[in-house]
């Protein structure tokens, strides 16, 4: 664990060594506020909750998290530093987990910095803070799912731009699978068990479940398995690229 902790600290410090981290956080906070108070009609709704805030999270993550994940391995491969990293007394699994955890903590920091919105809704009314807290947990888990997919894609290419575009496409599919329009469309020609199976692989389905204030084990299992599978796929891809 000490090696993983060292890698996490190394990666986190590298984020803040350039203006990129600060730009990302500012963009995230500005978009979160705009979606909540402007597009989400926070004041017009007259309800003391953060539903408009969390409703837009999947769509913000669709573009912002691939922007973080694209550099995880593509940059290492492009600069050639991946060979140096893998010659250190670090296993491939430790490197993958360390880089992932650093990026996940960075996203968690950006999410934490939205706390003034939470304070605002408590000042204006009496929200169900248990539901809001559960929604934050669900949002962070969903961010981890996006990030794990992006990590795997980043390991497969030297180009950050290519990694960014492919990650968006894959994550978009994972979002659309649970969208009501898609489910209503496929339910017309597919048996219900298959429709349920399609919905079960969607970020939206599990995130909406948690954001209702019910942290179900099945939703935690989904995000845990998703992250685990794609991190394992990342190690497989890196091993394959080493053989090239």
Per-residue pLDDT band at 242 (split at 50, 70, 90): low
* Beta-carbon contacts of residue 203 (< 8 Å; ≥ 6 apart): 58, 142, 145, 146, 171, 174, 175, 178
The total of structural domains in the chain comes to 1
Domain that holds residue 80: 2-243
pTM: 0.88
Q: What average pLDDT does the segment 23-43 reach?
A: 85
Mean pLDDT of the chain: 85
Grouping H, G, I as helix, E, B as strand and the rest as coil, residue 117 is helix
Mark residue 212 as left, alpha or beta (left: phi above 0; alpha: psi -120 to 50; beta: remaining): alpha
Give the Cα separation of 47 and 186 in Å (integer): 34
Mark residue 41 as left, alpha or beta (left: phi above 0; alpha: psi -120 to 50; beta: remaining): left
* Beta-carbon contacts of residue 84 (< 8 Å; ≥ 6 apart): none
| Orientation of helix 57-79 relative to helix 20-34, angle to 10° | 170
Give the Cα separation of 182 and 174 in Å (integer): 12
Q: What average pLDDT does the segment 156-164 reach?
A: 88
CA 194, 195, 198, 201: dihedral to nearest 10 degrees?
-100
Lowest mean pLDDT, pick from 16-25, 49-58, 160-169, 197-206: 197-206
Give the Cα separation of 117 and 29 in Å (integer): 10
Per-residue pLDDT band at 83 (split at 50, 70, 90): low
Cα 172 to Cα 157, 165, 201, 244, distances in angstroms:
19, 11, 12, 30
pLDDT for residue 77 is more than 90: no
Q: Name the residue with tokens 């408590």.
A: 122
């Amino acid at each position: 664990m000490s090696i993983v902790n060292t890698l996490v600290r190394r990666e986190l410090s590298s984020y803040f060594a350039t203006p990129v981290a600060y730009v990302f956080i500012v963009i995230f906070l500005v978009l979160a506020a705009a979606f909540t108070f402007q597009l989400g009609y926070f004041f017009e709704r007259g309800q003391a909750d953060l539903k408009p805030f969390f409703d837009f999270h999947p769509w913000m993550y669709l573009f912002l998290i691939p922007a973080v994940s694209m550099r995880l391995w593509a940059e290492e491969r492009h600069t050639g530093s991946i060979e140096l990293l893998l010659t250190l007394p670090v296993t491939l699994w430790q490197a993958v987990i360390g880089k992932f955890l650093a990026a996940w903590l960075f996203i968690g920091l950006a999410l934490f910095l939205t706390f003034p919105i939470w304070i605002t809704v408590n000042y204006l009314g009496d929200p169900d803070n248990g539901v809001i807290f559960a929604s934050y947990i669900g949002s962070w888990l969903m961010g981890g799912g996006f990030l794990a997919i992006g990590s795997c894609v980043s390991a497969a290419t030297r180009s950050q731009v290519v990694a960014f575009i492919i990650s968006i496409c894959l994550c978009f599919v994972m979002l659309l699978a649970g969208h009501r329009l898609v489910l209503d469309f496929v339910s017309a020609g597919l048996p219900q068990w298959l429709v349920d199976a399609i919905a079960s692989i969607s970020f939206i389905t599990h995130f909406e479940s948690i954001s209702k204030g019910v942290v179900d084990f099945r939703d935690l299992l989904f995000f845990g398995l998703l992250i685990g599978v794609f991190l394992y796929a990342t190690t497989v891809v890196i091993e394959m690229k080493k053989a090239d």
